[in-house]
Amino acid sequence: MQALLVKSAAGNYVAQFTLPLNVALLRGAQLVQGEFGQRAEFVVCEAGGCIARAELTDEMVGALRSGTAAEVRFISLSAGPIKVPFSLKGVTAGLRSL
């Protein structure tokens, strides 16, 4: 999985995840940190994987800043539900620099 946080032209934070091919596209993916969860819609699949994007709510941005770990959840058509944990170390500084 590859994760990317960017700021849109409108000033909103956007999370983008590149996930393996063979995912349940209509189910989307979900970014989860603690009690907060946010759906990410798949926008395209390329040879390197399927890309899901979500414009982050203020609540999710706050959860990412205050947390230490999060995970992306999605469904693989061949392996079933998958959870990919990742560290949030450096997220606050990264968001501040955008």
The pTM (predicted TM-score) of the whole model is: 0.90
pLDDT attached to residue 96 = 84
Q: 7-66 pLDDT, tens per residue? A: 999 999 999 999 999 999 999 999 999 999 999 999 999 999 999 999 999 999 999 999
DSSP H or E run through 6: strand 2-7
Q: 72-97 pLDDT, tens per residue? A: 999 999 999 999 999 999 998 888 88
Are 44 and 21 a contacting pair, CB within 8 Å?
Answer: no
CATH superfamily ID and name for 2-92 = Invasion associated locus B (IalB) protein (2.60.40.1880)
Q: Tokens 């926008």 identify what position?
A: 43
